Amino acid sequence: MASSSALPRERAREAALAHAVDEGLLGPGSPLVGLLDVDGVLAAVNALKEAFEGPATVHHTFAAKACGLVPVLRLLAEAGMGCEVASPGELEQALAAGFSPGRLVFDSPAKTVGELEFALDHGVAVNVDNFQELERVDRLLAGREPAGPVGLRVNPQVGAGAIGAMSTATATSKFGVPLRDPGAVDAVIDAFARRPWLNRLHAHVGSQGCPLPLIAQGIGAAYALAERINHQLGHARITGLDIGGGLPVNFGGEDDRPTYADYVAELRRATPGLFDGRYTLVTEFGRSLLAKSGTIGSVVEYTKSAGGRRIAVTHAGAQVATRTVFMPDAWPLRVGVFDPAGRPKEGPHQVVDIAGPCCFAGDLTATARELPAIGPGDVVALYDTGAYYFSSHFSYNSLPRPAVYGYRTDASGRVRLALIREAQTVREVVEESGLSHADALVALCADGPGQGPSR
């Protein structure tokens, strides 16, 4: 689906920003917008599929948490992806986007009885997180077969990457059955021996900050356990391996590295038998499919100086770039500067902080960056924001969610836009904050034992 005549990513992004300004989608009346490069997303999907070509059957799913917007999910469904969901909200978004239940994988570590019943009855693949959940599935099935695959998530406990919060295979991770704990492997083998319908293993080592050898080590441990279980049971009880996702994204430059081909090459070196066709493989990539295709554009409202440091105050802060603001060393973003017409600015660089609108001092999306001189009315662009930044909104200061548009750009630079999500209005923010129940607490006080609210 990606257009072979599309502009290179950087030029397409600049054309889309200029077009958004021309159309009034980014400017004084609309100071914040998200832009998603559709051709870039489809190119990433194609690269993923090509990297895994071979004898093994592979089901690629998109991790919905990375961008829970229905039009984006619909695009990925049409591109042949499945969808990995980890909450009832993500499940409903995926179904609304057109994914059939059989193309879904449900991974939540806190699945309720109702959620499990739906998945087991409708053919959604389920990755069970722990032995208590496995017993709950036993009770729900009551001797019948599930409608879809059921796997058990294991934690290979191979250690943490550079970002502890993104590492899911540490010694004390909340996810899965910890394989290095005493008796855990025997308990897993016994679980498979007693349940003919249990037919997958799931392992996910982590996300950003996890090097490929660490990811490969964790997947290798799950593969070795699958081999041991099948050998011990005397038949191929485990027919599928869900190897998760977690390909890191290069937030320091324009190029894609590591690539999906790099990822697969590392897995082939570490565990060549993984790809021989005996196991159906499931992937759950999210950030790496979308991040490089996203841009957040914001109008610069004011510029100032404090302690000799220049500061540009924008409308993009912690409400859209939450991880970057609170963990800037782990989640740095590249920044571009454009004039009020949306054209890239040039000239001598100055050291500047890029600040957001939130009412706390640390609301900075970039610190001490050397950038072309910035003035009020200019546009600051935050690059590589296609994953998480559009849909994981932080409602600090009751700031409304920005509009998000998808774009395609042809070889001549002509841009076409499609609205993905409308900007949230201030009225909608107020309604969401309990407007229809405005008198509830006053009434509660009035109904008490003679205690009304003091004035």
Question: Which domains can be identified in the chain, with CATH numbers?
Answer: 9-35+297-432 (2.40.37.10), 39-291 (3.20.20.10)
Q: What is the pTM (predicted TM-score) of this model? A: 0.94
Q: Report the C-alpha gap between 310 and 315 in whole angstroms.
A: 17
- Residues of the chain below pLDDT 50: 1-5
Spatial CB neighbours of 241, under 8 Å, sequence gap ≥ 6: 200, 201, 202, 203, 219, 222, 223, 226, 274, 279, 280, 281, 282
What is the pLDDT, as a whole number, of residue 166?
66
**Cα dist from 246 to 168, 200, 260, 295, whole Å:** 10, 19, 11, 21
pLDDT at position 209 is 79
Q: What is the pLDDT of residue 158?
A: 83
Q: Is 446 left (phi over 0), alpha (psi -120 to 50) or beta?
A: alpha
What is the pLDDT, as a whole number, of residue 455?
A: 54
Predicted pLDDT of residue 206: 80
The 3 state secondary structure assigned to 242-309 is ECCCCCCCCCCCCCCCCCHHHHHHHHHHHCHHHHCCCCEEEEEECHHHHHHHEEEEEEEEEEEEECCE
